[in-house]
Structure 1
Amino acid sequence: MTGPVADVTGPAAAGARLRFDGWIAGAGTASGTRLVLGHWPRSPFGSFSDVMVEHADGTRRLLAPSGRVADFVAATYAFDRVDVRPVTVERAGACWTVTAGPLSWRFTVGPRSALGRLLHAVPTAAATHPLWIRSAGLPARLLGLRTVGRSRSGRRSFYGARDLRPVTDGEAVWDGTALGPLARVEPAVRFGPVSVPRRPALVRVTTLVELPGDRVFGR
């Protein structure tokens, strides 16, 4: 792995708020392994994808496409192992195919849910503002979600959901072994600030990561 991400975590960046626009997909499997995909077409690192894996024995693993991304994500969330591996995401209509090191994961998304329609109707400027995100925290907890979290390194993360679609079908293979049909995300993943719905889902989201330093909440 390379050194720390100096351009976004150095002293000059203290108090900065970094924006990641994309999708988070979460699903459990019959074997007990839980998967979280982050697909970020727009971010401070350019376009990239990463995968968080929590195995049935509780081991938390990050698969990231570069040392820079791995360093940043590992400083924001919690893992037992971090691997730098190519991560590719292909989309063909409603079908998504994810390849990340030993993981092959295919899933299909269904039509926008009722909650997805509600989220989609909120203007982007409001849906991605920390004050709105914080106000949405209580209803989000009914789905097992957190909209605001803090990492051990002092970074705060804000998750502005803008759409929600169910994952209706899929399969995953880890190092040649099938993980079984997709299932509910139970128990909940333990990566720190990030959370996903209990039912397999794809969430359109804007994530804001606030670096330690001068307080900028609500700006």
Structure 2
Amino acid sequence: MGTSSGTRIVLGHWLRSPFGPFSDVMLERADGDRLLLAPTQETANFVSGTYTFDTVRVLPVDVSVAASTWTVAAGSFDLRFSTGRRGLLGFLLAAVPGALARRPAWIALLDRPARVLLPGVRTRGSAGGGRREWYGARDLRPIAALSAVFEGEDLGAMARVEPPVRFGFGSVPQKPTVTRVTTTVELGPE
């Protein structure tokens, strides 16, 4: 999601992962500074080994979801947003069987259409540390409203994600959304 202050926010809320459930926050400020907020050193090492950040902070990242409202607290970062009704693309993504949506060959097939429909979005690519990554999208819902504060500064009204975030090989949709994805990371040489 974007904000009128120029800060762009990517929230990772992982119900299942090799590290157990966790959430992380990636922020890119208007000046281009990229910040990761992660709950443990282990998750911080993995995420920062896959994506690029200028600063990494390890601190509790608490996320609660009640109906369509999400609340996030991570140190001096507070975020609250609500989602709207699923659109046509969200219905199409939700209709794809989970086993198919996770397959790298299927994800590769969808990369070109994703680039056309959602500029800046990639479904596969090279990540940091020689890793490769695939994003199997399973749902898409618009964000209807948000409020965010970082280090005491109100980040302003919801805005498009412009310019694109530069954490990895691709960005997120320009229009603020919640996208449910299955992420596959192939580790590079250790």
- TM-score, structure 1 as length reference: 0.84
Would you say the 8 A contact 1:77–1:194 is kept in 2? no
User: How far, CA to CA, are the matches of 2:92 and 2:108 in structure 1?
Assistant: 17
User: Partner of 1:172: helix, strand, or coil?
Assistant: strand
User: How far, CA to CA, are the matches of 1:125 and 1:92 in structure 2?
Assistant: 27
Q: Post-superposition shift, 1:126? A: 0.7
Runs of at least 4 residues off by over 6 Å: none
Select the residue among 81, 99, 124 that pairs with 1:148: 124
Aligned to 1:172: 148
Select the residue among 2, 6, 16 that pairs with 1:42: 16
**1:157 lines up with 2:148 in the alignment:** no
User: How far, CA to CA, are the matches of 1:78 and 1:149 in structure 2?
Assistant: 14
User: Partner of 1:42: helix, strand, or coil?
Assistant: coil
Q: Post-superposition shift, 1:212? A: 1.5
Aligned to 2:182: 206
Q: Post-superposition shift, 1:194? A: 4.9
User: Partner of 2:100: helix, strand, or coil?
Assistant: helix
Which consecutive residues of structure 2, in runs of 5 or more, have no partner in the other structure? none
User: Partner of 1:32: helix, strand, or coil?
Assistant: coil
User: How far, CA to CA, are the matches of 1:85 and 1:195 in structure 2?
Assistant: 25
Letter in 1 for 2:108: R
1:98-132 CA distances to partner (integer Å, 9 max, x unpaired)?
Answer: 11111101100011110000001111111110000
User: Partner of 2:157: helix, strand, or coil?
Assistant: strand
State the structure with more CA Rg: 1
- TM-score, structure 2 as length reference: 0.96
Aligned to 1:188: 164
**1:105 lines up with 2:79 in the alignment:** yes
User: How far, CA to CA, are the matches of 1:63 and 1:208 in structure 2?
Assistant: 21
Aligned to 1:121: 95
Aligned to 1:82: 56
User: Partner of 1:153: helix, strand, or coil?
Assistant: helix
Aligned to 1:71: 45
Q: Post-superposition shift, 1:196? A: 1.0
User: How far, CA to CA, are the matches of 1:41 and 1:193 in structure 2?
Assistant: 23
Letter in 2 for 1:190: R
User: How far, CA to CA, are the matches of 1:47 and 1:194 in structure 2?
Assistant: 24
Higher relative contact order (CA 8 A, sep 6+): 1
1:5-30 CA distances to partner (integer Å, 9 max, x unpaired)?
Answer: xxxxxxxxxxxxxxxxxxxxxx0000
Which consecutive residues of structure 1, in runs of 5 or more, have no partner in the other structure? 1-26, 214-219
| Percent identity of paired positions between Structure 1 and Structure 2 | 57
User: Partner of 2:128: helix, strand, or coil?
Assistant: coil
User: Partner of 1:111: helix, strand, or coil?
Assistant: coil
Would you say the 8 A contact 1:157–1:193 is kept in 2? no
**1:139 lines up with 2:99 in the alignment:** no
Note closer, same or farther for the CA distance 1:195–1:184 as it changes in structure 2 (3 Å cut): same
User: May I ask how many residue pairs the two structures share in their alignment?
Assistant: 187
User: How far, CA to CA, are the matches of 1:102 and 1:185 in structure 2?
Assistant: 22
